[in-house]
Structure 1
Amino acid sequence: MAAPPAGAEGGETAEIDALFDRVTEQAQARAEAAYRRGAAALPEALRDLDYDTYRQIRFDPEAALWHDAGLFSIQLFHTGFLFDTPVQLHLVEEGDTTPLTFDPQRFRYDGQAAELLEQDLDGAGHAGFRLHFPLHRAEYQDEFAVFLGASYFRLVGRDQGYGLSARGLAIDTALPHGEEFPAFREFWLVRPAPEASRMTVLALLDSPSLAGAYRFDIAPGRDIGVEVEARLFARRDLAKLGVAPLTSMFAHGDTSAGPIDDHRPAVHDSEGLLIHTGRGEWIWRPLTNPRQLRVSQFLDAAPAGFGLVQRSRDFARYLDLEARYERRPSQWVEPLGDWGAGRVELVEIPAPDETHDNIVAYWIGDTPLKAGEARRFRYRTHTFGASLPEAPQARVVRTRHGWGAVPGQSDPPPRSRRHFMIDFRGGELEGLAPDQPVQAELDLSRGRVRHLQTQPLPDGRGWRASFRLDPEGGQPADMRLRLRLYGDTISETWNHVWYPDESR
């Protein structure tokens, strides 16, 4: 059962429920009408702002909403640059709902942006908002959540830095006719009681294919937890409805097939997809930056959860003093209720560098959403660090591969032979003596495997499974490997697809 929102009880909870029902009615009414693309065009002065000028517009912290009482406060984003469609914000306080009008006095316009004050900014509106709460020190309210752009929202917990993003929905991702990006058009910000440690945000989502009402019950802390309810109403048949999508970036790392001209050993916001299936299996899929678009599907029924994970938390792994990739959060999605049969889908998009979000993961149900139909999803999403406490098995900490030749070999094998090394740590491997008979079990879709073996790592904390793969012609090889001890599985399942055409 979902926890009560915003620390509210009794009548306050009933008021929020009633408001959410009214937002739901608005979403249904929208879905029954023709689609209209949001608000009117921005004032001329804001239409052509470049990135540098937009960054010179800053919200004044002294103007933060609710900063005078309670634990939460809200700061606002200005429209302009990429954010050309204002969103309507409503404040819900003591049962009253009041539209939040745009006021340039809440912002500072520095540098070239100061010229905007000489222009007519009527109709500028707000692009989004960010939430603040005392995560570290009692006297300072840290930013912990941002709702900005389409249906994107980002979460960051204590000692974490922004990385991946969540979205309300993903529609037709990786289909030939192009992706549709639904957008939150209105938000209702429910003011919590002064002593409350949770708050509620309601949202109205709209797109050419559907409309929806969203409820976010948000609990900040070391990790940020959000319980989400989405009530969706379809205008037309949807080819692909991606639920609870997570979007991230993987430029290069252990799985990169060839030398990278970069002083940093790895550059990524997330390094793997983790899935906990309805059957209880934990699957780890290392991410890649492919040469061409790759779409992977993991069939399941009643999934227990999935997420994008940044496991490597050591600065030496990245050597980037500015981006600090070791601080990027992981994020988990846990369905509330039975989502039925379907699949987790992973999309990996070629990207030249880290400025592109090229990783997307989401759930797709087997039952398509048709025009005139409604659907409801509930789930919990939260940030975390290297690992989930509920994942007890040994986890993959490193995936390496290279040419499967022996140095100095007089008759080397073809360049197509790959040597894979997968390092595991944790779970039953902790404190395990080197003479224990840990075995690797490998399933292969095609090709031939040589020299499958396991060895303890020198640090005494983990084990390595290694093998050499001879692909079958130019065909990809789908591999699944797990560790076993005395007949029992003691690790998550490492899953990787090797595409021979990825060799550099």
Structure 2
Amino acid sequence: MVAVAKHVSLALCLFIAAQPGRVAAFSFDDVIAQARTLSGTTQRLADSDLPKELLDLDYDQYRDIRFRPDRALWRDARLPFELMFFHPGFHYQRAVRIHEVTPAGVRDVQFSSNQFDYGKNSIDPTKLRAPGFAGFRVHYPLNAPGYKDEILTFLGASYFRALGKQQIYGISARGLAVDTALASGEEFPAFTEFWIERPNAGASQLTIYALLDSRRVTGAYRFVLKPGIDTLMEVSTRIFLREQVTKLGLAPLTSMYFFGENQPNATGTDFRPEVHDSDGLSIHSGTGEWIWRPLVNPKRLLVSSFALVNPFGFGMQQRDRRFSHYEDLESRFDKRPSVWVQPIGQWGAGRVELVQIPSPDETNDNIVAYWVPETLPPPRQMLTFDYRLSWQMDNAVRPAQSWVTQTRRGHAYRKSTDDSIDFVIDFEGPAFMKLAADAKVEPVVTGQNAEVREAIAYPNPIINGYRLALRVKRMDESKPVELRAFLRGPDSGAISETWSYLLPPS
């Protein structure tokens, strides 16, 4: 918890009567005011108030501490939403403050050890004290009317993740990314305080406010959660810089890619064909072009940028939904959500940045994507960005005409090998249903540091789509190869999204 927050006593503001006999209503403006005030001070982190027995918990011991469902907030009132809380400890050593917002005012949600079952841990709950919770999760009857599923979690720094119907946790979002993938090191802002509006009996959405803080940045956030087949989150962001940063990443998404179709498992000992939470980055540019960048697990840090003006959206997607491509009954990667970021209003000039980090296994989130605005305001001036997050599965956002369904590297049998690099790219979509049997479809391929030796597009009747067979030669082994390809229809216009691929230096 940030000690300086105590100097800005929001509680005083919350209970000042607007007129005699009435309590002043809490609003997003109150959180913005606190973030603005904090930006004029130096961040001061208090020492953790947790006892040593909580600080020393390992992963399995921490997971053995469970919130008691019968103590869920709003369960007694039989409201459609319920809140359950995470215990501080293990990696989550700084407690966050949580408040309930009601028409009568704002009240603290107090930590109590009797809210938790400590499992096999040697912890005496009667002697345990903690300044707050590590985070919280939201429950709602999403998949069946008689059971409230966990649909949203806030836990750790500014991380959160949500679920739509029949989805399983995978990709995460964050409030903010600061100086990601820079040699100077990344700064991780954290949500330090939450205010959650008590829903009414017929509510289908939940409003959450959050205060964000770090050494050089403060922020106010409003999340409006709308559960459904595709769960939506409308996010309002107000950022204040304490001092200038080199790179500010907005609407950051964090995922995992270990191996897949375009990068098979190198060890040959894993029975699973693919292991990833996302298989590509999708971008809908302000010009209307759709871009698809397949993900990789690189040997070295790999950072790519896509310069844009007023993008329509971007997201990390899990397009491959066939269980047979994963064969993992426990992890069910085929049910991991895609997440789409849709700007609300115009974002101006900037870039979508994709960061891919080497990972030796599937336990690391090694893929990050976010929006970097071209310019930032001076310290203490407000930066406003609003957007919508969609947690999707079968209804994932994609181009209207056609899209890439798989990228494979390698070639079939050859009598003799050469130094070329081969790709097979499949496209699927309504555009191909409209083509005459003798329609001419041409591949358009461009590249940097590459000689295109062969590019052939031909029908793929298995998916009622088209396949592009591409063979290129790297010109300079010490430089990366960047490739772009799309399909052109009989009227000379594009009938597919643009496939974009980056090969690092050898």
Q: Normalised by the size of structure 1, how large is the TM-score?
A: 0.92
Please list, as runs of the form range in 1=range in 2, the aligned pairs for 1:165-244 lying within 5 A after superposition: 165-244=172-251
Structure 2: how far apart are the matches of 1:436 and 1:138?
50
Structure 1: how far apart are the matches of 2:152 and 2:125?
32
- 1:84 is aligned to 93
Q: Which runs of 5+ in 2 are unaligned?
A: 1-17
> % of aligned pairs identical?
45
- Matching residue within 481, 485, 493 for 2:489: 485
- Secondary structure of the residue that 1:430 maps to in structure 2? helix
Structure 1 contact 210–236 (Cα < 8 Å) conserved: yes
Structure 1: how far apart are the matches of 2:239 and 2:81?
29
- Secondary structure of the residue that 1:29 maps to in structure 2? helix
Shift of 1:235: 0.5
- Secondary structure of the residue that 2:123 maps to in structure 1? helix
Task: Check if 1:308 corresponds to 2:311.
Answer: no
CA deviation string 1:407-427 (max 9, x = no partner): 223xx323xx11111100012
- Secondary structure of the residue that 1:83 maps to in structure 2? coil
CA deviation string 1:347-372 (max 9, x = no partner): 00000010000000000011034323
Structure 1 contact 102–124 (Cα < 8 Å) conserved: yes
Task: Check if 1:464 corresponds to 2:467.
Answer: yes
Structure 2: how far apart are the matches of 1:389 and 1:247?
18
Q: Do the aligned partners of residues 155 and 17 (structure 1) sit closer, same or farther apart at CA in structure 2, a change above 3 Å counting?
A: farther
Q: Give 1:310's aligned amino acid.
A: Q
Structure 2: how far apart are the matches of 1:289 and 1:36?
37
Structure 2 contact 241–378 (Cα < 8 Å) conserved: yes
- Matching residue within 350, 372, 396 for 1:342: 350
- 2:500 is aligned to 495
- Secondary structure of the residue that 1:448 maps to in structure 2? strand
Structure 2: how far apart are the matches of 1:92 and 1:22?
12
- Secondary structure of the residue that 1:25 maps to in structure 2? helix
Aligned CA-pair RMSD: 1.8
Shift of 1:296: 0.2
Moved over 6 A (4+): none
Structure 1 contact 225–380 (Cα < 8 Å) conserved: yes
- Secondary structure of the residue that 2:475 maps to in structure 1? coil
- 1:159 is aligned to 166
Q: Give 1:309's aligned amino acid.
A: Q
Please list, as runs of the form range in 1=range in 2, the aligned pairs for 1:295-444 lying within 5 A after superposition: 295-386=303-394, 388=396, 391-402=399-410, 407-409=414-416, 412-414=417-419, 417-430=420-433, 432-444=435-447
Task: Check if 1:107 corresponds to 2:116.
Answer: yes
Q: Give 2:473's aligned amino acid.
A: D
- Secondary structure of the residue that 1:489 maps to in structure 2? coil
Structure 1: how far apart are the matches of 2:382 and 2:397?
35
Q: Give 2:292's aligned amino acid.
A: W
Shift of 1:436: 2.0
Q: Do the aligned partners of residues 369 and 42 (structure 1) sit closer, same or farther apart at CA in structure 2, a change above 3 Å counting?
A: farther
Q: Do the aligned partners of residues 118 and 366 (structure 1) sit closer, same or farther apart at CA in structure 2, a change above 3 Å counting?
A: closer
Please list, as runs of the form range in 1=range in 2, the aligned pairs for 1:122-161 lying within 5 A after superposition: 122-161=129-168
CA deviation string 1:133-172 (max 9, x = no partner): 1101111111100000000010111100000000000000
Structure 2: how far apart are the matches of 1:272 and 1:342?
20
Q: Do the aligned partners of residues 334 and 38 (structure 1) sit closer, same or farther apart at CA in structure 2, a change above 3 Å counting?
A: farther
CA deviation string 1:312-334 (max 9, x = no partner): 11110101111100000000001
Q: Which runs of 5+ in 1 are unaligned?
A: 1-10
Structure 2: how far apart are the matches of 1:327 and 1:91?
33
Q: Give 1:488's aligned amino acid.
A: G
- 2:68 is aligned to 60
- 1:22 is aligned to 30
- Matching residue within 277, 280, 291 for 1:283: 291
Q: Give 2:144's aligned amino acid.
A: R
Shift of 1:260: 3.8
Q: Give 1:342's aligned amino acid.
A: G
Shift of 1:17: 8.0
- 2:5 is aligned to none
Shift of 1:429: 1.4
- Secondary structure of the residue that 1:54 maps to in structure 2? helix
Structure 2 contact 26–106 (Cα < 8 Å) conserved: no
Structure 2: how far apart are the matches of 1:432 and 1:110?
62
Structure 2 contact 349–373 (Cα < 8 Å) conserved: yes
Structure 1 contact 45–121 (Cα < 8 Å) conserved: no
- Secondary structure of the residue that 2:193 maps to in structure 1? strand
- Secondary structure of the residue that 1:491 maps to in structure 2? coil
Q: Do the aligned partners of residues 267 and 17 (structure 1) sit closer, same or farther apart at CA in structure 2, a change above 3 Å counting?
A: farther
- 1:4 is aligned to none
Shift of 1:373: 2.6
Structure 2 contact 113–125 (Cα < 8 Å) conserved: no
- 2:59 is aligned to 51
CA deviation string 1:171-217 (max 9, x = no partner): 00000011000000000011111101011000000000111110001
Structure 1: how far apart are the matches of 2:24 and 2:134?
24
- 1:6 is aligned to none
- Secondary structure of the residue that 1:52 maps to in structure 2? helix
Shift of 1:259: 3.3
Alignment: residue pair count:
481
Q: Which of 95-104 and 344-353 deviates more?
A: 95-104
Q: Give 2:188's aligned amino acid.
A: F
Shift of 1:74: 0.5
Structure 2: how far apart are the matches of 1:134 and 1:118?
31
Structure 2: how far apart are the matches of 1:393 and 1:255?
23
Q: Give 1:62's aligned amino acid.
A: D
Shift of 1:393: 2.0
Structure 2: how far apart are the matches of 1:286 and 1:380?
23
Shift of 1:434: 4.7
Shift of 1:390: 6.0
Q: Do the aligned partners of residues 462 and 16 (structure 1) sit closer, same or farther apart at CA in structure 2, a change above 3 Å counting?
A: farther
Shift of 1:460: 5.2
- 1:7 is aligned to none
Structure 2: how far apart are the matches of 1:145 and 1:301?
31
Q: Give 2:226's aligned amino acid.
A: A
Shift of 1:498: 1.8
Shift of 1:19: 2.1
Shift of 1:41: 2.9
Structure 1 contact 427–490 (Cα < 8 Å) conserved: no
Q: Do the aligned partners of residues 257 and 418 (structure 1) sit closer, same or farther apart at CA in structure 2, a change above 3 Å counting?
A: farther
Q: Normalised by the size of structure 2, how large is the TM-score?
A: 0.92
Q: Which of 142-151 and 44-53 deviates more?
A: 44-53
Q: Give 1:359's aligned amino acid.
A: I
- Matching residue within 35, 39, 50 for 1:42: 50
Shift of 1:125: 2.1
